Amino acid sequence: MTEEIKSPYRRGADDGFFFGIYLSIFFLLSFISVKMPILSLISFAMAIAVPVVIYYFLRKAYINDKGLSPLSLLWMHGIMIFICGSLIGAVAEIIYLKWIDPDFIINQMKTAITLYKDSGWESGKQMAEVMQRIIDNGLVPSAISIVVEIIWLSISTGSILSLIIGLIVRARAVRPDRMQKK
């Protein structure tokens, strides 16, 4: 009896669930690191490890397919990991930005205003004035709009990263002893 090979969409959704948990932890640590700077080291390490995590998922799929997966399949698998993972991570981001620390965005803008004012550069002072006008006129981006931008950024950079990692995965041959028996 042969086992049916999963589509890249199904694999991406399955792996994207775990990647979504990873992204949720990463984003929450990033947000909290504003108050606890030591956490920024962990979130930085998690950001650096994203290619390794994606490589793990794509390589596992490539080995399961006995090294026969075309680049397009690996690439789509990676894109789906980023789409599904980003949507799961977005839930954690929304919860944090809307209910746990609803003043996070405005506080970050106020911190940036202070830094720009104290920079000593004319352009920095102008930027501080622009940001202050944004706050005064109630034009601060909402939590939802920030999260949507994060989703788009994650998916677009994830697509490029998935292509590069897919090429790397295919460049390494699969040893016969690593192939799973079906």
Output the pLDDT for position 98: 96
Cα angle for residues 9, 15, 20 (degrees, 5° grid):
110
Question: CA dist 150 to 2, 82, 134, 178, 181, Å?
Answer: 41, 12, 21, 37, 40
Query: In the chain, which residues have pLDDT < 70?
Result: 1-5, 177-182
Tokens 């080291």, residue? 41
**158 token code pair:** 């994830």
Output the pLDDT for position 4: 56
Contact 88, 16 (CB under 8 A): yes
pTM: 0.89
Output the pLDDT for position 82: 98
